[in-house]
Amino acid sequence: MAHTLLLATRNKGKIEEFRRILDVIAPGAINLVGLDQFPDLHEVIEDGATFEENALKKAREMSIATGIPAIADDSGLCVDYLGGDPGIYSARWAGTHGDDQANNKKILDQLSGVSDEQRGAHFTCVAALYLPDGRSHCEAADFFGRILHAPVGEHGFGYDPIFSPHGFNQSSAQLSAEEKDAISHRGKSLRAIAPHVIRMLKTLG
């Protein structure tokens, strides 16, 4: 019997990415639902100082509100030249939450004239699981590469069009879903937390 797990996001790209990975790791074991099935739930204020604090807060508040085990992630782009920014502010770097085009443009503007050697960057993702009985578990992972000089590619979301992973001459937005899942920060953090998700859900009966 599949256990229901709430993915605490309304981002369709994230939901599909998580579902693909979970289906590979534990096919049929988890019925993954997103916040789109709970339209009246409040928005979680991401006021933590770290990715882990924000991820755990989202998972905890959504699990308590629904009574369902919840998994949430907080992730962001950390650019070396910008001292690690935008970091936890990645989704709203240009001022409006979730405006990918504006966020990408701001990063490119900030790195205008900066050489390839100074355009190193990485994504960080923390995946957090919270159960209604108060148990929790977190896993973190990174995804290293560099910032391109212009956006390219039609896949993915967020900063994917301006980020080229180490070892690739393409942007993340040019990779297939399977290629990206295998190396991305989100893919790695979810694969790391998946065994804990399955183990902890089983204890719920």
Give 189's contacts (C-beta < 8 A, 6+ positions apart).
73, 125, 126, 127, 139, 140, 141
Confidence band of 205 (pLDDT split at 50, 70, 90): low
Which tokens go with 176?
Answer: 């297939």
Tell me, rounded to whole angstroms, the distance of Cα 115 from its chain centroid: 28
Helices (H), 41-153: 51-66, 100-110
List active site positions.
74
CA triple 75-77-82, angle to 5 deg: 140
Assign domain 3-202 one CATH number from 3.90.950.10, 3.20.20.150, 3.10.20.600, 3.40.50.1000: 3.90.950.10
- Comparing 20-29, 164-173, 190-199, the range with the smallest average pLDDT is 20-29
CA pair distance 199, 9, nearest whole angstrom: 23
Average pLDDT score, the chain:
91
